[in-house]
């Protein structure tokens, strides 16, 4: 079976090619992202493999179906970039990687929290210039502070373990509480009002879009720390910038951005970026913005490649599609 692989980066080939060859799949790698105009690259292929910034909207899905594509393989957990109704209508199966390495994302999130709290990014720049003053680099002890976790799936659960390891008082919100977790579930308002650190680990849906907004930011404590390694759309960028202008946040760690599709995973160092919100976020000294790399470990990449190819194998062999998105 043939797979058209979109938005290819050098590291994708390293992990996917050997497994695909072993399982008897033929992959054609394209650097282009999937959209309604590039869907033609999948003509005659059985499946497409896409990532977080590919656009599998209704028009793209319909074209894929017209070209004979039967499967959309998501090499990620999120699926907000796929029009599932259009795919179902055209008989295209959509499968994802629900869990690859929850610890990779949780560990990275904690790294962002520690960095913005203790100003590690600023200290690094100073000492490169032999400026060894620590004035302005003061943080807080996390020990004994309250951490609010929004979303208690596998990544959220790993995050809770880490936060408890720092002897933090952990509270959590999830519309579907996990009764097996030893955690104090509260409502969102309580998360916003009581947390010294807030970290987001939920999918992007209609209900969660802009869960961090002007109203929720106004509820937060002054000098709160916010971390988002999930999806950019969870945070209203304009409200975040306004909060930063009002010195609401002690620190903000972002691995995702609301309008990241055009920028993240690309080298734009020789181009003029015109996104004023993105420029503003990179200018704040108490903000660390990274390029959607929280997942990026050897263990995670191996798991993503293996599960993606296993999803295709299950379809080919007529087995149960355990990772089918319905």
CB distance 227 to 264 below 8 Å: no
CB-based contacts of 171, cutoff 8 Å, min separation 6 = 146, 147, 148, 149, 183, 184, 185, 186, 190, 191, 194, 195
**Which active-site residues does the annotation give?**
231, 260, 292
CB-based contacts of 299, cutoff 8 Å, min separation 6 = 101, 104
In which region does residue 24 sit, left (phi positive, over 0), alpha (psi from -120 to 50) or beta (all else)? Answer: left
In which region does residue 301 sit, left (phi positive, over 0), alpha (psi from -120 to 50) or beta (all else)? Answer: alpha
CB-based contacts of 44, cutoff 8 Å, min separation 6 = 2, 67, 68
Where do the H-state alpha helices sit in 120-210?
Answer: 120-128, 154-165, 188-194
CB distance 49 to 76 below 8 Å: no
Tokens of 82: 């796929």
What CA–CA distance (Å, rounded) separates 80 from 173?
Answer: 21
């Amino acid at each position: 079976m043939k797979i058209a692989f979109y938005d290819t980066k050098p590291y994708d080939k390293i992990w996917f090619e050997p497994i695909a060859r072993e399982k008897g799949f033929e992959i054609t790698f394209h650097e282009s992202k999937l959209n309604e105009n590039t869907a033609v690259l999948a003509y005659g292929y059985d499946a497409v493999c896409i990532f977080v910034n590919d656009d599998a909207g209704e028009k793209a899905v319909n074209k894929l179906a017209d070209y004979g594509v039967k499967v959309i393989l998501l090499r990620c957990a999120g699926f907000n970039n796929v029009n599932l109704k259009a795919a179902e209508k055209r008989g295209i199966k959509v499968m994802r990687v629900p869990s690859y390495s929850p610890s990779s994302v949780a560990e990275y999130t904690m790294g962002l929290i520690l960095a913005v709290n203790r100003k590690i990014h600023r200290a690094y720049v100073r000492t490169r210039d032999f400026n060894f003053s620590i004035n302005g680099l003061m943080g807080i002890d996390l020990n004994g502070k309250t951490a609010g976790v929004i979303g208690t799936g596998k990544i959220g659960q790993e995050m809770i373990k880490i936060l408890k390891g720092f002897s933090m008082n952990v509270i959590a919100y999830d519309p579907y509480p996990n009764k097996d977790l030893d955690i104090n579930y509260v409502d969102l308002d309580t998360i916003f009002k009581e947390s010294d650190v807030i970290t987001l680990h939920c999918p992007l849906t209609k209900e969660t879009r802009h869960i961090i907004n002007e109203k929720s930011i106004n509820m937060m404590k002054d000098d709160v720390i916010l971390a988002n390694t999930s999806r950019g759309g969870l945070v209203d960028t304009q409200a975040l910038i306004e909060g930063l202008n009002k010195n609401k946040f002690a620190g903000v760690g972002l691995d995702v951005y609301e309008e990241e599709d055009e920028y993240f995973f690309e080298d734009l160092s020789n181009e003029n970026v015109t996104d004023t919100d993105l420029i503003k976020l990179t200018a704040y000294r108490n903000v660390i913005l990274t390029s959607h790399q929280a997942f990026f470990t050897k263990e995670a990449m191996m798991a993503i490649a293996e599960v993606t190819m296993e999803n295709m194998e299950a379809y080919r062999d007529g087995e149960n599609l355990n990772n089918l998105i319905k």
